[in-house]
Copies of this chain bind each other. A is one copy, B any other.
């Protein structure tokens, strides 16, 4: 529980915003320093390299994604688990658009060491969804051909939320989550109609 200088968090916040906005390669250490009103050299008192900032951001995001979508899953039937997964995932995506965008776009900006670390965490997350799909397929609740393909199709669909959610401030997160719950459940062959809202 090492005490952390406030500047370190300022650097994280500025880097997150800038990486998401322009892309890792298009952001310079001078940009990050300028965004927090500091000189570039000072960043190296808190992070050993630019690459380390990126890995730090991705790592933290995956930890929180797991806590939001995987950890609190009920131990009940596949339909309830898939629905809870979608809600947790969409909620996390909507609440952390910059982190999600970076996680998706900057995988190839990772150098070997960080890449292995991040990919391993990522795979664990995807495996959790695959397990739900396989259970539902085995029990006859779900209808689809290939669990691996379908897991990726679902994650792609859900991952798209942040690509466009900024633009359309119109819908509330709850409404968006509702749409995705329906889309995902129907995509595995489970009929679904919204619970409260008319129609």
Contact = CB atoms under 8 A, between A and B. Distances in A.
Interface residues of A, number: 45
Contact of A186 (B22, B157, B189, B199): B189
B164 A152 contact: yes
A32 B144 CA distance: 43
A182 B108 contact: no
Contacts of A176: 149
Interface of chain A, main secondary structure: helix
A35 interface: no
Number of copies of chain A assembled together: 2
A194 B143 CA distance: 11
A179 B184 CA distance: 14
A124 interface: no
A55 B157 CA distance: 26
Nearest to A149: B179
Interface in A133-147: 143-146
A179 to B, nearest CB: 5
Interface of A: 21-23, 25-26, 105, 108-109, 143-146, 148-150, 152-161, 163-164, 168, 171, 175-176, 178-180, 182-184, 186-189, 191, 193-194, 199
